[in-house]
Amino acid sequence: MNKILLNQYIYAILIAVIIQGCVSLPSDVVMPQWNTDLNVPFATKSYTLNDIIGSQNYISISSAQDSVYLINSDQYSQSIGVGAFIKLNTVGTVNVPDMATNGSVVEFTVPFPDNATIDSAKFSSGTLKITGHNKSATTVAHISISFPGIVLSNGKQAVLTVNVRTNSDSTASIDLTGATYKAPSTQFFPGFDMQASASGAPNQVSMDAYTSDFVFSSITGYLPKRSLGTQNNKFSLNLGDASKYRGKVNLKQATLTLQGKYKSSSPKPFIVGVNNLVIQGIRNSGGTMNLSYTTPLDSFRFDANGNFTLQTPYTESNSNITSFITFLPDVINISAEYTMNPDDSQEERSANSTDTVFFTSNFSTKSYLAIKQTSFLDTLKLDISQDVRDQILKGQGVAATANIQNGIPLTAWVKVTLTDQNYKPLFVVTRDTINHADSINFSGAEVDTNTNDVKTPRSSMTTINLDSAQINQLAKYAHYALVSVTVNTSGKDDTTAVYIKSKDLITLNVFGHVSYRIKGGK
């Protein structure tokens, strides 16, 4: 059946062809080609400042507060251990003259070094030393001493025995490493209580006791004021492209916060003092500037809980911080001397060898600023595939009109020049045929002269034309785009700071027509 149907079709076609035999048809059927003008909306987009600047190392956005922090530094932290504090390096000594030699016990106290008062402690190291003296020419002396408050690392009470030959001195010592100390409840004077007894010639035996080089792993009591030394650290500000604005920008809202924390497991840590705080900005190219507080802020204390927060951060009203940030240093140098128990308080407090003093500072500048006309240049590599270049080649002309509603108080001029792979300029893309300029302009939003806040967005319109020759150059030769951007704030003058908020909008409506070559294949 199929065959029959097919034969019938063939018959019909043959007859038709015969009848139409005088008709000539092209040997090559090929689509014609022509230019057509397409009027299209290239793009309609709104960008908040948040969208535009995105996330950069020196800029952060707080959408909740509608704020932009142009320079939002890392936390610059200094950390100092208190090991130097919980050392007693001096020697404490006591002399016991003419000890009774009838075996009776004599109690006395060896003072702690540095006049410290220790209620309890654990030793990392330290030494107790006893030197016995025997003036008898005939009788050997024996001195036995026990320390009721000290338990050695072997768990036994510290006991020392010294045998002193005639007419001689003899010394014995106890290594206190790992030992613990708890002041006996009967102790009256600060220091180690000792109970000593002696035998030998009467009135011929005496002794000296020494304490020295105590290093504690923990201690509760009184330790005298001690400086931990001066800490000096340099931190990079990571300005990135912001460094290009040096000398062109006035930042009006900057803050510096300082925070301290004495990290201790003790419920009642020692007080930490900070002296001689110096914050200095340093440019790599040279030049420094010190940050100064109106009321000199070079000496302060952590509180009883080991915390410190600068109640009034550095602001332009109490410091030169805006000048300091506007200086746009590459490096921040923070120098400070840390002192434990700076007031030499006798109050009993605790410290551990693992305790650390942290001190942090953090800069931020809100986007309330003025920018003088500033230009910078960038080179972008054009990543255009060959397929896309082939499509571009079909373009015969483009006229794109950009209608811009700028709600950001920044005026910008953008010039884009395409170059070949040797950076030889081809043509300027951003030639504005309306304003006869080689850059397109985005007028900044109008700013209220009283509040310096955005009053109304500003409209601007610009049209860019590319002819077929330029499109040809773009498709065939363009490899780089030299982008020149010039910006300034749109306040009443170039020194009047304006508020730039994260939700400020710029709306682009780009439309126009494309003259396109419709070209099909065979």
Compute the least distance from the CB of residue 14 to another protein, in Å: 9
Residues 340, 342, 348, 349, CA torsion sign: negative
Cα Rg of the chain (Å, integer): 43
Cβ 508 to another protein shortest distance, Å: 10
Which residues are paired to 60 by β-bridges? Answer: 69
Scored b (16 or more CB within 10 A) or e, 178-191 reads ebbbebeeebeebb
According to DSSP, residue 66 is labeled T
Minimal distance, residue 459 CB to another protein, in Å = 13
CB of 313 to another protein, least distance (A): 44
Nearer to another protein by Cβ, of 7 and 104: the residue is 7
Cβ nearer to another protein, comparing 29 with 64: 29
Residue 304 or 434: the one with the smaller Cβ distance to another protein is 434
Task: Rank residues 36 and 284 by Cβ distance to another protein and give the closer one.
Answer: 36
Q: How far is the CB of 463 from another protein (least distance, A)?
A: 13
The most distant pair of C-alpha atoms in the chain lies apart, rounded to whole Å, by: 158
Alpha-carbon span 70 to 322, nearest angstrom:
13
Q: Give the whole-angstrom CA distance, residue 363 versus residue 60.
A: 12
Q: Least distance from C-beta 464 to another protein, angstroms?
A: 15
Closest distance of CB 431 from another protein, Å: 21
Estimate the crossing angle of helix 468-476 against helix 386-393, to 10 degrees: 170
CA 367 to chain centre: 19
**Closest approach of another protein to the CB of residue 426, in Å:** 24
The two structure tokens encoding residue 42: 């290239």
* Closest alpha carbon to 92 in 108, 110, 109: 110
3-state SS class at 479: coil
Least distance to another protein, CB of residue 397, Å: 12
Please provide the size of the chain in residues.
Answer: 522
Strand 192-199 relative to strand 102-110: parallel, antiparallel, unpaired?
antiparallel
Residues that bind another protein (CB under 8 A): 1-2, 4-5, 7-9, 11-13, 15-16, 19-20, 22-26, 28-34, 36-45, 403, 509, 511-513, 518-520, 522
Rank residues 45 and 156 by Cβ distance to another protein and give the closer one: 45
269 or 395: CB nearest another protein: 395
Q: Which is nearer to another protein, 492 or 519 (CB)?
A: 519
- Considering the complex, state which of residue 34 and residue 188 has its C-beta at the smaller distance from another protein: 34
Alpha-carbon gap, residue 198 to 194, rounded angstroms: 13
- Residue 2's H or E segment, with its range, is helix 2-19
Nearest to 126 by CA among 218, 212, 224: 212
CB of 414 to another protein, least distance (A): 18
Taking the complex as a whole, the smallest distance from the CB of residue 516 to another protein amounts, in Å, to 8
From residue 110, how far is each of 189, 210, 319 by CA, in Å?
9, 7, 52
Nearest to 481 by CA among 392, 389, 416: 416
- Tell me the closest approach of the beta carbon of residue 16 to another protein, in angstroms: 4
- In the 8-state DSSP scheme, what is residue 432? B
User: Nearer Cβ to another protein, position 24 or 285?
Assistant: 24
Output b/e per residue, 464-492; b: 16+ Cβ within 10 A. Answer: bebeeebbebbbeebebbbbbebbbbbbe
If the CB atoms of residues 1 and 137 are measured against another protein, the closer one turns out to be: 1
Q: Where are the beta strands (DSSP E) in 53-111?
A: 60-62, 67-72, 76-81, 87-96, 102-110
